[in-house]
Amino acid sequence: MVQIQVALDVVEPDRAVRIAEEAAAGGADWIEAGTPLIKSAGMDIIRRLRKIFPDKIILADMKTMDVGAAEVEMAAKSGADVVTILAAADDAVIRQSLLSAKKYGVRIMVDLISFPDPLARAKEVEVLGVDLINVHVGIDAQMTGVSPIETLKKLAAETDMEIAVAGGLTPETAGEAADAGADIVIVGSYIINSDNVTQSAADIRKAVDLSAKSRAPAAEKKSKETEMIEIFKKVSTSNISDAMHRKGAMQGISSKNPGKKIVGRAVTVRSFGGDWAKPVEAIDISGPGDIVVIYNGDRDIAMWGGLATLTAVNRKLEGVVIDGAVRDFDEVQKSDFPVFASNVVPNAGDPKGLGEINVEIICGNQTVNPGDYIIGDDSGVVVVPKERAYEIARRSEEVWKREKRLFEEIKNGKTLASALELLKWENKK
Ligand SMILES: O=C([C@H](O)CO)[C@H](O)[C@H](O)COP(=O)(O)O
């Protein structure tokens, strides 16, 4: 039977234990002390997991790169059954790890993460005596859309080693992995960041236990663009800003029609001092999915009002973001059209025709290029550069999931400080 391994990639040991208990109840067979958890809590977390789960396989995700014998000994003596060594480590490290593993009665899993030629390296380590290999796409690489499944399929056809697979697996891809020949399906984020860990572990269990024949045909693969837009619609601007390491948020611009969220691509406009010619001309070259993003440089003269709003509604624009002022507030509000701006005033400027459309602009102190992704909600507006949009979308989804899980923990009686073991994590610099 394919084994399910839950990867405890959190840094708070108490949370890790709670999640492990919930995941075990949902059918996880192996419990992994994830690398971040080991770095945070050391070997104590292995001892603790061993005690709580005497009958489960405990994996120490050491990702050892050097001094294999000592690190394997340490994990083994703390109660681990399996210890990971990086495929990128020198052969000498792998040999030493295997010797130590034999001495202390544990197994070595070699992790192919980021190895340029994983299939060739897998064959080499098999010759060295390794019998457990992990086809692994790391979390950061996953965010760019890389998956482990194709490598898994190739490796399964060529090796007798037991194969584990990891890399952002969900029930759908875990099922694919089982069909492709995985013996151990490793799942982190999908389970540990779920607001129902037990159910999510059970979903994975069910997916891998289905035979390939009884599995529903895989849904058609979405384009990256579709996937990204769906994610941006689901997450908040706060999630996105977190995913961008607090970058991307426009300053001084807020929703003038609260409750309306926008997700779309920027049509940029630079205009000056209330000149509304270029902004309204930009509406005519925009359509569904577009957001006109305007720098006007004057907060006291409106360059957008009720008539521009109606035109934008008719052309089915996604919204407008203005570093400047709007007027006709009652009409804007009645329209329900998403307008984000820095100010509301009654007086308008003139259509002089100064400025440019679809050039790089600064809006709310953020650089915006034509085609960049703009997301606005009641917390404000963020700009995501088009070149990094897919990665940022995936990362913001991880932030969203993690927060959902934390909401559950707080609903169940934790405080935010206790859930995150905050006292321990205050900046000590
Ligand atoms: O090993 C892992 C990663 O390198 C962080 O330590 C993860 O445990 C592994 O990738 C599984 O987690 P997900 O990819 O989030 O499913």
Work out the average pLDDT over 90-101. 98
Distance from the alpha carbon of residue 61 to the mean position of ligand 1, in angstroms? 9
Q: Which residue out of 165, 186, 192 has the highest number of ligand 1 atoms within 8 Å of its CB and is therefore the one to mutate?
A: 186
Residue 169 alpha carbon, nearest atom of ligand 1: 16
Q: What count of residues does the chain have?
A: 429
Whether residue 118 sits in one domain with residue 202: yes
Distance from the alpha carbon of residue 99 to the mean position of ligand 1, in angstroms? 26
Whether residue 204 sits in one domain with residue 93: yes
Work out the average pLDDT over 317-322. 98
| Helix and strand element counts for the chain (H, E) | 19, 19
Ligand 1 pocket member 118 (CB < 6 A): no
Residue 34 alpha carbon, nearest atom of ligand 1: 6
* d(C-alpha 110, C-alpha 233), whole Å: 39
Distance from the alpha carbon of residue 62 to the mean position of ligand 1, in angstroms? 12
Work out the average pLDDT over 24-44. 98
pLDDT tens, residue by residue, 193-247: 999 999 999 999 999 998 766 777 777 778 999 999 999 999 999 999 999 999 9
Distance from the alpha carbon of residue 5 to the mean position of ligand 1, in angstroms? 11
CATH of the domain at 180: 3.20.20.70
pLDDT tens, residue by residue, 361-401: 999 999 999 999 999 999 999 999 999 999 999 999 999 99
The pLDDT score that the predictor gives to residue 212 is: 67
* d(C-alpha 174, C-alpha 187), whole Å: 8
The pLDDT score that the predictor gives to residue 302 is: 96
Ligand 1 pocket member 186 (CB < 6 A): yes
pLDDT tens, residue by residue, 38-90: 999 999 999 999 999 999 999 999 999 999 999 999 999 999 999 999 999 99
Ligand 1 pocket member 138 (CB < 6 A): yes
Distance from the alpha carbon of residue 276 to the mean position of ligand 1, in angstroms? 51
Whether residue 245 sits in one domain with residue 156: no
Ligand 1 pocket member 7 (CB < 6 A): yes
CATH of the domain at 383: 3.50.30.40
Look at phi and psi of residue 49 and say left if phi exceeds 0, alpha if psi is from -120 to 50, else beta. Answer: alpha
User: Would 277 be classed as within a structural domain?
Assistant: yes
Q: What percent of the chain has pLDDT over 70?
A: 100
- Which residues does 336 contact at the CB level (< 8 Å), separation at least 6? 257, 260
User: Would 412 be classed as within a structural domain?
Assistant: no
User: Would 93 be classed as within a structural domain?
Assistant: yes
User: Would 426 be classed as within a structural domain?
Assistant: no
Total count of domains within the chain: 2
pLDDT at 94 over 70: yes
Please say whether the beta carbons of 65 and 86 come within 8 A.
yes
User: Which amino acid would we find at residue 93?
Assistant: V
Q: Which residue out of 82, 139, 173 has the highest number of ligand 1 atoms within 8 Å of its CB and is therefore the one to mutate?
A: 139
For atom 12 of ligand 1, the residue with the nearest CA is 188
Whether residue 196 sits in one domain with residue 259: no
Q: Which two tokens stand for residue 347?
A: 């007086």
Ligand 1 pocket member 171 (CB < 6 A): no
The pLDDT score that the predictor gives to residue 99 is: 98
Angle between helices 91-104 and 68-78 (to 10 degrees): 30
User: Would 425 be classed as within a structural domain?
Assistant: no
Distance from the alpha carbon of residue 102 to the mean position of ligand 1, in angstroms? 26
Work out the average pLDDT over 30-44. 98
Distance from the alpha carbon of residue 166 to the mean position of ligand 1, in angstroms? 6
Whether residue 149 sits in one domain with residue 298: no
Whether residue 163 sits in one domain with residue 249: no
Whether residue 189 sits in one domain with residue 63: yes
Whether residue 162 sits in one domain with residue 127: yes
Domain range for 189 is 3-209
For atom 4 of ligand 1, the residue with the nearest CA is 138
Whether residue 295 sits in one domain with residue 158: no
pLDDT tens, residue by residue, 268-303: 999 999 999 999 999 999 999 999 999 998 999 999
User: Would 45 be classed as within a structural domain?
Assistant: yes
User: Would 363 be classed as within a structural domain?
Assistant: yes
The pLDDT score that the predictor gives to residue 429 is: 78
The pLDDT score that the predictor gives to residue 424 is: 87
| ipTM score | 0.97
Whether residue 270 sits in one domain with residue 307: yes
pLDDT tens, residue by residue, 167-203: 999 999 999 999 999 999 999 999 999 999 999 999 9
Ligand 1 pocket member 332 (CB < 6 A): no
The pLDDT score that the predictor gives to residue 288 is: 97
Ligand 1 pocket member 148 (CB < 6 A): no
User: Would 327 be classed as within a structural domain?
Assistant: yes
Distances (CA, A) of 50 to 31, 42, 243: 9, 14, 34
Whether residue 259 sits in one domain with residue 149: no
Residue 187 alpha carbon, nearest atom of ligand 1: 16
Residue given tokens 């980021």 in the structure block: 114
Residue 32 alpha carbon, nearest atom of ligand 1: 8
Ligand 1 pocket member 168 (CB < 6 A): yes
Whether residue 71 sits in one domain with residue 176: yes
Q: Which two tokens stand for residue 183?
A: 């013996």
Ligand 1 pocket member 74 (CB < 6 A): no
Please say whether the beta carbons of 358 and 268 come within 8 A.
yes
